[in-house]
Amino acid sequence: MITLGVETSCDETAVALVRDGREVLASVVASQIERHQPFGGVVPEIAAREHVTAIVPALEEALAASGVDASEVGLVAVTDRPGLQAALLAGVAAAHAVGLALDVPVMGVNHVEAHLVAPFLAEARDPEWPLVSLVVSGGHTHLFHSESDTSHLLLGATLDDAAGEAFDKVAKVLGLGYPGGPAIERAAATGDDAAIPFKRPYLNPQSLDFSFSGLKTAVLYRCLGQDANGRPGTELLPGLEVEDVAASFQRTVVDVLDRKLQRAVDRTGVSRVAVGGGVACNGPLRERLAGTAAARGWELKLAPREFCTDNAAMIAARGAQLWRVQGGEVSPPAVQARASWKRV
Ligand code: KG4
Ligand code: ZN
């Protein structure tokens, strides 16, 4: 069966066609980054308006690139939560229109759970369960004990900023632009990652939660200093090596994600590990986790880079997976800004 996926939860308008939940026939991602760059982050109202204009061209482009005739599509899958409410509505409305036009069902998909499918896109076989799975993105830092396609138990999550959000905010302080992750990674490549020993926010020794806002504040004061009232300055301190700050910050985040995954594996006894989300594009993170996996005998699945950041291939794949496990039953889209999971 061919699934058409639609993703509009944040600032990417994406459409994809995926065969049998695995084979990506086309994946179009229309980024709105340039529209949001002047504001240093995503503006929800602009995002929603952009989706409305970008969605039809993205649909046309994806169908043309896939070589699939629209009549071959058997299911439409669309992100319905979590995300920016107005942005989600634009995608869900478009998905309903496509479903109506093609006379096929429309399935609502949880964006975070779709990030968990990305490590298995293009794999020859289905994932083996259970898994320890980590989603690290601009909006989410979620660590799960995944028992099956449909049972993700939350082991830990961020108490404040998501990992990608920390990359974005630190890049803004350093004047590196938006999105921050790729900019920090580039700057860090020529920096010394041991130059500044930022405190690692591991929280208490058992915790599988994350906290990146203290690290972000530490970077802020390190870069801008403090005025007589204890407020951060407005200019980077003279002589500050931006590359060293970027590398030291990135190393701190990598250390934390690596340590928390090790704790999760020790806690659950599950040594199959899957990682997805925009931050999983990060080269030093990928290298570190590959090293840990080799040393500890984990089976590690990292999402292919092109499917780490937001895309509709993972939405289509997740929709097809749900369709299969629910025996052909459809969960219609129910737009929700937030999503929650059972905690263990
Ligand atoms: O998954 P995603 O596209 O959107 C959300 O669901 O949030 O993730 C976007 C996030 C941004 O915060 C971006 O700065 C970060 O992923 N990111 C990276 C890299 N590429 C994207 N973070 C670190 N290193 C990268 N190379
Ligand atoms: Zn995402």
Q: Show the domain range for 167.
A: 131-304
Query: What spacing in Å lies between the alpha carbon of 241 and ligand 2's midpoint?
Result: 31
Specify whether 235 is located in the same domain as 116.
Answer: no
Specify whether 299 is located in the same domain as 313.
Answer: no
- For the record, the structure tokens of 30 come out as 């229309």
- CA pair distance 302, 295, nearest whole angstrom: 16
Residue 171 is predicted with a pLDDT of 97
Cβ 278 under 6 angstroms from ligand 1:
yes
Query: What spacing in Å lies between the alpha carbon of 195 and ligand 2's midpoint?
Result: 31
154, amino acid identity:
L
Specify whether 197 is located in the same domain as 287.
Answer: yes
pLDDT digits (tens, 9 = 90+) for 202-258: 999 999 999 999 999 999 999 999 999 999 999 999 999 999 999 999 999 999 999
Specify whether 14 is located in the same domain as 119.
Answer: yes
pLDDT digits (tens, 9 = 90+) for 2-60: 999 999 999 999 999 999 999 999 999 999 999 998 988 899 999 999 999 999 999 99
Specify whether 268 is located in the same domain as 152.
Answer: yes
Query: What spacing in Å lies between the alpha carbon of 138 and ligand 2's midpoint?
Result: 7
Cβ 82 under 6 angstroms from ligand 1:
no
Query: What spacing in Å lies between the alpha carbon of 164 and ligand 1's midpoint?
Result: 5
Specify whether 300 is located in the same domain as 313.
Answer: no
Residue 273, C-beta contacts closer than 8 angstroms, at least 6 positions apart: 131, 132, 133, 134, 261, 265, 289, 293, 298, 299, 300, 301
Whether the per-residue pLDDT at 125 is higher than 90: the answer is no
The DSSP-derived string for 113-141 is HHHHHGGGTT-SSPPPS-EEEEEESSS-E
Specify whether 18 is located in the same domain as 86.
Answer: yes
The mean pLDDT of 172-191, rounded to a whole number, is 96
Ligand 1, atom 3, lies closest to the CA of 309
Give the mutation target among 167, 252, 310, 315 for probing the ligand 1 site: most ligand atoms within 8 A of CB.
167
Task: Using alpha carbons, select from 116, 115, 110, 140 the residue that is nearest to residue 130.
Answer: 116
Residue with tokens 């007589």: 228
Number of domain units in the chain: 2
Query: What spacing in Å lies between the alpha carbon of 330 and ligand 1's midpoint?
Result: 30
Query: What spacing in Å lies between the alpha carbon of 279 and ligand 2's midpoint?
Result: 10
Instruction: Give domain status of residue 332, yes or no.
Output: no
Nearest-10 Cα torsion for 138, 139, 141, 143: -130
Specify whether 174 is located in the same domain as 29.
Answer: no
pLDDT digits (tens, 9 = 90+) for 288-314: 999 999 999 999 999 999 999 999 999
Please report the atom of ligand 1 found closest to the CA of residue 9: 6
CATH at 208: 3.30.420.40
Give the mutation target among 88, 116, 137, 184 for probing the ligand 1 site: most ligand atoms within 8 A of CB.
137
Cβ 179 under 6 angstroms from ligand 1:
yes
Residue 292 is predicted with a pLDDT of 98
Residue 178 is predicted with a pLDDT of 86
Whether the per-residue pLDDT at 126 is higher than 90: the answer is no
Cβ 182 under 6 angstroms from ligand 1:
yes
Query: What spacing in Å lies between the alpha carbon of 330 and ligand 2's midpoint?
Result: 23
Ligand nearest to the CA of 303: 1
Task: Using alpha carbons, select from 139, 119, 135 the residue that is nearest to residue 47.
Answer: 139
Q: What is the pTM of this model?
A: 0.96
Instruction: Give domain status of residue 208, yes or no.
Output: yes
Please report the atom of ligand 1 found closest to the CA of residue 276: 1
Specify whether 184 is located in the same domain as 285.
Answer: yes
Specify whether 318 is located in the same domain as 297.
Answer: no
Q: What are phi and psi of 122, to 5 degrees?
A: 75, 5
Query: What spacing in Å lies between the alpha carbon of 230 and ligand 2's midpoint?
Result: 36
Ligand 1, atom 14, lies closest to the CA of 181
Q: What are phi and psi of 151, to 5 degrees?
A: -125, 100
- For the record, the structure tokens of 286 come out as 């990928």
Contact of 270 with 130, CB cutoff 8 Å: yes
Cβ 8 under 6 angstroms from ligand 1:
no
Query: What spacing in Å lies between the alpha carbon of 181 and ligand 1's midpoint?
Result: 6
Specify whether 37 is located in the same domain as 58.
Answer: yes
CA dist 337 → 87, 117, 193 (Å): 10, 21, 37
Residue 328 is predicted with a pLDDT of 95
Cβ 279 under 6 angstroms from ligand 1:
yes
Cβ 180 under 6 angstroms from ligand 1:
yes
Please report the atom of ligand 1 found closest to the CA of residue 135: 1
